[in-house]
A and B are shown apart, each in its own frame.
Chain A
Amino acid sequence: MELILEGILKAIALLVSLDPEVLGITALSLKISGTATLISLFLGVSTGTVVALTRFPGRKLVVSLINTGMGLPPVVVGLFVTIFLWRNGPLGFLQILYTPTAIILAQAIIATPIISGISLAAMQNLPANLRLQILALGATRIQMFWLLIREARLPLLAAVMAGFGGIISEVGASIMVGGNIKGYSRVLTTATVMETGRGNFDVAIALSAILLLLAFLINFLLTRIQQRERPR
């Protein structure tokens, strides 16, 4: 008990004193996962929207692949990204293994199917005739595309947050492809793993508190969005 209490007190001290190392790790985490989410946003929303609005042979297979991808285990992604980026792997010439860029790549691969899948569902949840109504208002195909995205903007925002939430708390791929290098590729989750291993529970608790706070904020916003009414 004493161990936990002491850890919590020290963690509070670290947070209140704005410990530079803790802040640095948090900032890097936000930067890496934020960039990966942004990349996934473009790939995921456009994939989800196109699959939702078009009919083509093999569409069902694509939908199943997206849905499978939503549950992609991060360690599997980490493994394959490592293999691809390995010095004599197919993408070894890029020389980005054990860099923040590699983490961004792995996290984008994890988040893209999540955002695609939720975007697909969001677009399919719009009223069936809305597409026709927008065309009847005189919209070009591109105008229709944007108006539909605008109509689904809240569930799409939810998709983005789900994607972000999924990768900021992910540890397997980040440690495998980032290497947990101090001040360079050390993020909240990988630092927590390491500090716990070393028995530095105070730092680990402080880092976990930040992660919990982020998770809470994301879920709070998601709930707010899901409670909102749609127009008739």
Chain B
Amino acid sequence: MTAAGPLLQVKNIVVKRGGIPVLDIPDFRIERGEVLSLLGPNGSGKSTLLLTLSSLLKLHQGKLIFKGREIDGRRSELDYRRQIAVVFQDPLLLDTTVLDNVASGLKIRGMEKAGRLRIAAEYLERLGIAHLAKRSASKLSGGEAQRTSIARAFATRPAILYLDEPFSALDPPTREALISDLTRILRETDTTAAIATHDQMEAMRLSDRMAVIQQGKIAQAGSAEEVMNHPVNEFVASFVGMDTVLTGRVLENHNKHRMMIAVGDREIEAVGNFPPGEQVLCCIRPENVTLSTDSPEEHSSARNNFSGRIVRIAPHGLFYRVDLDCGFELISYITRISLDSLALREGRKVKASFKATAVHVIRKST
């Protein structure tokens, strides 16, 4: 096996349903070790793309290249399917015990009983459901069932783990716990993964890279910062919500609620409780960034004040979008009146302020 080249490469694939193309991807790659999210609204084709990547859907055109070799014909398809795993939105467990479910992928691959049960038990442990081993799969809660499904996928030690909206059917606390466990196990096992989701927060927390899917095509692919700060079109902008996204590291955590976060050589104050040293993403909505031309911060509750230069001013619907360089990129939305009264123009120095509570902090997985 060579280390060079993408793990999976897609060339010119077209998938049709009832004669109508629902997926059209000229070129796409999954790199070794990355966690990729396929982000898109319902019906955008992200699940279709995920099923296509896992060779479960018939291609009408194009090819999949895994580890430099084209997947072609029944034999190589089976060979590929035995090196990947898929977790669906519904857990789709078999009618047997939890332990046997987790061992089922290994049983299909012909592994002897003692070996597969040992590995299954190990992954039950990792997902915190070892106590359910002997339980019938029909008697699980939604969260337990999805944990079983994820353990079953990991047990085969897949080269690529595909997850199709794996948390959508779960209630918020269950989802939260499962996302942080999945993040941890992905990191511990260094598994390459692709996750289809419609939730940008989920995508930002889990993945290194996101691909935004629009009507069966990849509208944009890149890091969370790239996609959210520089959406290529209106669809991407409106779908990802257009926050300023900054990568940072927690420096200090005061009394478990007030954090200082290093972003480049600047420091941002935010509310939250992550330990020092943690890699985080800071999201700041442009409507929460105030601009001024003098220095009012002594009498303000805005804890973050930065001087910056206006890079660009562009009309954005009913208001203006101002791109700033404050040592990091920052976007502010202002009205026409403010633009005129402050006499803002490109190249001018301004003061940008936002409250510590306006910074949404997301823990970064890798």
Contact = CB atoms under 8 A, between A and B. Distances in A.
A27 interface: no
A149 to B, nearest CB: 12
B86 interface: yes
Interface string A115-133: 0000000000001011011
Nearest to A141: B74
Interface string B143-160: 001000000100010000
Given A132-B86, A133-B86, A150-B95, A138 B136 contact: no
Interface stretch (B101-109, B188-196, B265-273, B352-360): B101-109
B138 A143 contact: no
User: Which of A136, A140, A153, A228 has its CB near the most chain B CB atoms (within 10 A)?
Assistant: A136
B51 interface: yes
B78 A137 contact: no
B56 A230 contact: no
A137 B104 CA distance: 8
Interface of B: 51, 54, 56, 78, 81-82, 84-86, 88, 90-95, 104-105, 108-109, 136-140, 142, 145, 152, 156, 162
User: Which of A133, A138, A143, A230 has its CB near the most chain B CB atoms (within 10 A)?
Assistant: A138
A231 interface: yes
A2 interface: no
B100 to A, nearest CB: 11
Interface in A69-86: none
Given A127-B90, A130-B92, A231 B108 contact: no
Given A136-B54, A231-B95, 19 more contacts: A129-B90, A130-B92, A132-B56, A132-B88, A133-B92, A136-B56, A137-B85, A137-B152, A138-B78, A138-B82, A139-B108, A143-B108, A147-B94, A153-B95, A230-B138, A231-B91, A231-B137, A232-B137, A232-B142
| Tier of interface size on chain A | 20 to 34
A133 B104 CA distance: 11
Contacts, number: 67
Contacts of B56: 132, 135-136
Contacts of A195: none
B95 to A, nearest CB: 5
Contacts of B78: 138, 140
A52 to B, nearest CB: 17
A231 B140 contact: yes
A137 B108 contact: yes
B136 A133 contact: no
Nearest to B80: A138
A135 B138 contact: no
Contact of A232 (B51, B54, B91): B91
